[in-house]
Structure formats: structure tokens, C-alpha cells
Amino acid sequence: MHERIIPYLERAGLYHLARLNSQWFWLDEPLVSAFVERWRPETHTFHMPFGECTVTLQDVAFQLGLPVDGEAVSGCLGEFETYMEGGRPAWEWFEDLFGERPPPNKVKQMTVHFTWFHERFRVLPPDASEETVRIYARAYIMMLLSTQLFGDKSANRVHIRWLPFVANLDGMGRYSWGSAALAWLYRCMCRVANRNVTNLAGPLQLLQSWIFWRFPSLRPAGFEVFSFPLASRWSAYLPPNDGKEQRVIRYRLALDRLTARDIVWEPYSALDVLAVVHPEILTEEHSRMWRAVTALIYFAVIEWHQVDRVVPQLGGVQHTPEDALNVDWLHAKDGRGGDRWFPHYYQKWHEHWENRLDARHPDTSGGISERILPGSTQITAT
């Protein structure tokens, strides 16, 4: 991360995430697997012996330092000339933005192999012009989004869906990167819960850091010093690499024995935590989103921020939540089978995000203001 591209990352709202690049930690696969087994797609919560808990927009803001308010991260997946005003064919646009096209052996459908980006834009020339800096900033952001937030099971490809975003670097800060990342994490866990899927993708370091901050009994010893973003606390963590099947069993038993005293409901309220948090995370613009019961959008992925089921995580007393929305049909949509302009295809859900501050907001007294998405159905989760 060259110092000359830092201003572009700051304006895009991605600088804190970029700082985590050198501080990502190894994933404890048995621990994550044991938690995902308790994930319920109907409610988007983990069902524990003491009740429910989940990763929320508040967690994304504190753990990764991402903005959670703003426009939905959406559009189309590659047919830009069809759906965007003045849109050009994808690879023409790619060449305009990066100065060249990747060789055919580095391209697969609408993705470019990560190694091409890494080799081509690894080191910014010392005498680079400002336009060259912008090209390198675009490449860095494309790789950052494709690997740290929105990675899939391929783990080595960069999707060109990001071209309309990096084309206007100065406008990237208006998007809610945090809600898009949470939507993708939810969808990846829902896939494992609902289908015959064995490989979990998504921003799993977010999930693991959430586990460590919330459950002290599952936290590795010796990690008492922390800074912002809070996920950087575990940068030197290295889990055991043997006996994974036995460790999964042990974690399952540990989760079975958890009580309400074993979870830290409000880890971010401590003064030493607030002392290191970047002030922008605590502004009303973003903190008001933590209580929004609303749609989470990431292109074709639509999930539900069911925060009214975990009010104690926000300092309130749990009331009886609304029945969960039935989003099973949305789980079957992944953007395959033909491109679409998703803000139109999912218009009602986008309208709900646009009216997110009118959505249901649990408060510290347990009160809730009602607003149900028109045309939605509800199911009772058991």
C-alpha cells in the first residue's frame, strides 16, 4: 500500500480495511465450522443455548472499520453497455481504466486471475504520474474487494463487476461497504446451512474476530493489546493445524455449554475500546444504522439484518421479535443465468434500503417502531 494511493483509499472508505491487509490472521476452521452449524438462515442468527446472537452492522464497523451507511453496492455483473447510460463493453472499459487488457490465458469469463493484477501492479514506479497512481489505486481496490471482503471459493480471481466503481474513485465513499460485506457473509453461511456445500467463503476473518471478542472462553490467550480496526488484535494468531475433527467435536461441546454469562453482549462499550476507535465510526451517520432492521444488499445477494432478535447486543432488553421474513426465494438467486440490472430487478428491496432509517429500530428500552416491507411474507422460526 504505497503512500500515494492512501488518499484514494481514504476517500473510498476502505483505508481501515486496507490497513488490515498486513494483519490478517489464520482461520481456525474447526471453530468457525462449529459456529456455522448453529446458523439459522430463517433468522440470520446463531441459535445458542442461551438464545440468539449474530454479527451485525455494528460489528462490521468496529471490526473492519467500514462505513455502514450509504448507497447499496449493486449494479450489474458485466454487461455494462446494456444497463448503464453511456456504458461501453466491459473489456474496452477495462483497457481504458488500466491502460491494457490482461492476456487471454489470465481471463475467465468476467474475471481476471489475481496473479496478473499482482504482477502488473505490484510496485508503484517512483516517478509515477498522478494518472498512473490512479491506475494503481484502481488495481489495489479491485484486489482488496475481491480477496478481503467478497472472496468466493475460487480465492484467486478478481471480478470486473467493480469497474463502474473504480471508474469514479472519488465517488466510492458514498457506498455502504459494510452492509455489502455483511450481506455476503450471511449468504455464504446460508449456503452452507441450506445446501450440500462444504467450502465456506466470504469475510471469515470478520466472523472469527467477532467470536473472539464476544466469547472470552473461546479466545486465544495472550492477545490483550488491540488497536483499530479491532480485528487487527489477532494479527499474530496461529491456530493448531492437527486433529481438526477432534477439535470440531470439542468446540461443539463448548458451544453446548455456553450460558448468557459466557457472551460479552457489549464489547465495544468499554472505555479502552472506545479510546482506540476512529471517530468517524461513532458518528450519528453510521451509528444510527446499527439498529436498522433492513435489507442488506450486495448485487444479486439480498439478506436481512434481523437485529431486533439480538437487542442485548445493542444494550437493550430483548422483546418478542417480529416473525422472520421468508427470504428462501432470494437464497436461490445468485446472479447466474443472465445478467440483470439488480437495482431494478430487486426494486422493492432497494427501496427498503433507501428507507432504512424508517425501518424498525429497537431501542435501549425494548421499544420498536413498526415498518414491514410491502409484499413480503413472514415465517415463524422455531
Name the residue with higher pLDDT: 368 or 242.
242
Helix (H) or strand (E) holding 250: helix 244-256
**Structure confidence at residue 88 (pLDDT):** 84
Report the candidate in 230, 176, 177 with the shortest Cα–Cα distance to residue 205.
230
Q: Which three cell numbers stand for residue 200?
A: 465456506
Report the candidate in 215, 212, 244, 372 with the shortest Cα–Cα distance to residue 308.
372
Residue type, 2: H
**Structure confidence at residue 361 (pLDDT):** 53
Helix axes 29-36, 204-214, angle to 10 degrees: 80
CA 292 – CA 59 distance, rounded (Å): 13
Q: What is the rounded average pLDDT for all residues in the chain?
A: 89
CA 295 – CA 291 distance, rounded (Å): 12
Span 283-301, mean pLDDT? 91
Q: Which three cell numbers stand for residue 129?
A: 504520474
For the chain, the domains span 3-281
Report the candidate in 346, 331, 303 with the shortest Cα–Cα distance to residue 76.
346
How confident is the model over 11-64, as pLDDT tens digits?
999 999 999 987 888 999 999 999 999 999 999 999 999 999 999 999 999 999
Exposed, middle or buried by CB within 10 Å (0-12, 13-18, 19+), for 198? Answer: exposed
Q: What is the dihedral of CA 101, 103, 107, 110, to 10 degrees?
A: 20
In the structure, what pLDDT confidence band is assigned to residue 373 with cuts at 50, 70 and 90? very low
CA distances from 153 to 34, 74, 146, 184, 201 (A): 19, 21, 11, 13, 6
- Per mean pLDDT, which range of 109-123, 291-305, 324-338 is the poorest? 324-338
How confident is the model over 64-93, as pLDDT tens digits?
999 999 999 999 998 999 998 877 899 999
Strands (E), 44-86: 45-48, 51-53
Report the side by side order of strands in the sheet with 157-159. Answer: 107-108, 111-113, 157-159
Name the residue with higher pLDDT: 115 or 156.
115
